Structure 1
Amino acid sequence: MSTDDEQVDYEDLTSMRLDEDGLAEILAGPAECVFNWTTKDGHPVGVVVAFIHHDGKFFTTCAERRKRVPALRKRPQSGIVINAAGKTATFKGESVVHANGDPGFDELKTWFYTRLSRLDTMPDDPYVQSFAKFLDSPHRVIIETDARLVVAFDTAKFRAFTVEAMNAEAD
């Protein structure tokens, strides 16, 4: 990374970007993310939720009475942060809240609850079957977030870079 005449630029972390395979790995899910939105007074807030990444969009769910639901209906700007096995990715985008009675909701909830509960991969598991039924409650919403990648980071690359930079300083 450096020679005797060259200084390691520890401030430039562009080479620590998460590659496409690493990003695909953390998006494969089901997994958890920190889902962020803003309060009416403009403060950011987030919660850890399960998500499914499908067709370039994120899908999460919650009870309709959660404060994020009316907040997102008024201010759809949102963010998603994923941190898994030393790989991180941050996305920003706009969210749409889908609820019972909305056009297409039955189709949406069918595939989403099946994937989120893992009923598609473990159809004979009694817990999975119960969880899929549990998700299908009358006051549950599905939040669809069309988000674009802001930054993706690989801590394994960062660790290697840090060790090399520290060793260069010691020489």
Structure 2
Amino acid sequence: MGKLGVDDLENLKGTHLDKADQGELLTAQTECTFIFSDAEGHPCGVVMSFFEEDGVFWLTAVEGRHQVKGLDRDPRCSIVVSSAGSGLPGRRMLSIRGEGTVHRDDETKQWFLDQFTTRLQPTDPVSWRKLLDSPKRVVFEVQVTSVLASHDQRKIAGNGRGMAG
């Protein structure tokens, strides 16, 4: 076995994303891939905006969309967050398994919209909130059941791509 990142890229032991770095990623990133099961049980994924608070992921969609139907059928879901486009140094990834709930009540929706628009559109949350506050809007709450995988490329020599260094 060679040196990880120099002449070996198979044994990635020790390249997980530490808890503090998971928090940094989840604070910096606003998009994830949300994975759910379709009517035939096939895994499907869509890119969605999110925020995470106290270990819970919060997302939104409109009634009738595939991800809403999927979560209504089967609460098991996964979320994958990468550092792409976040401005964070290094390639980072976190994949979680969770149990999702679709909220349709106005109290949850109003709380969510306040949080979501302020965090993701701080320069003009009011305009975006007005746009999102639609009659068919639903809110997803995803409780994390486990971290399936994580990765921190910064822990690999050569930038994880065989580069000297």
TM-score category of the 2 structures, normalised to the smaller one: 0.7 to 0.9
Q: Offset at 1:75?
A: 1.0
The aligned amino acid for 2:152 is D
Alignment TM-score, normalising by the size of structure 1: 0.78
Contact 2:30/2:120 (CA < 8 Å) preserved in 1?
Answer: no
The aligned amino acid for 1:77 is R
**Are residues 1:22 and 2:21 paired?**
yes
Match of 1:87 among 87, 92, 101: 92
1:116 matched residue in structure 2:
116
Alignment TM-score, normalising by the size of structure 2: 0.80
Q: Find the residue that maps to 1:45 and give its secondary structure.
A: strand
**Are residues 1:97 and 2:95 paired?**
no
Q: Find the residue that maps to 1:69 and give its secondary structure.
A: helix
**Are residues 1:128 and 2:133 paired?**
no
Match of 2:138 among 135, 138, 141: 141
Q: Structure 2, unaligned stretches of length 5 or more?
A: none
Q: Is the alpha carbon distance of 1:121 and 1:141 closer, same or farther for their aligned partners in structure 2, counting shifts above 3 Å?
A: closer
Q: Find the residue that maps to 2:65 and give its secondary structure.
A: coil
Q: Offset at 1:160?
A: 3.5
Q: Is the alpha carbon distance of 1:160 and 1:17 closer, same or farther for their aligned partners in structure 2, counting shifts above 3 Å?
A: farther
Q: Is the alpha carbon distance of 1:22 and 1:120 closer, same or farther for their aligned partners in structure 2, counting shifts above 3 Å?
A: closer
1:78-121 per-residue CA deviation (whole Å, 9 max, x = no partner) reads 0000001411000011111011xx3xx41x22332122112698
2:77 matched residue in structure 1:
78
Identity of aligned pairs, percent?
A: 31
| Structure (1 or 2) with the larger CA radius of gyration | 1
Q: Find the residue that maps to 1:33 and give its secondary structure.
A: strand
Higher helix share: 1
Whole-Å Cα distance in 2 between the matches of residues 119 and 129 of structure 1? 12
Q: Structure 1, unaligned stretches of length 5 or more?
A: 1-5
1:3 matched residue in structure 2:
none
Q: Find the residue that maps to 2:156 and give its secondary structure.
A: helix
Alignment coverage as a number of residue pairs: 153
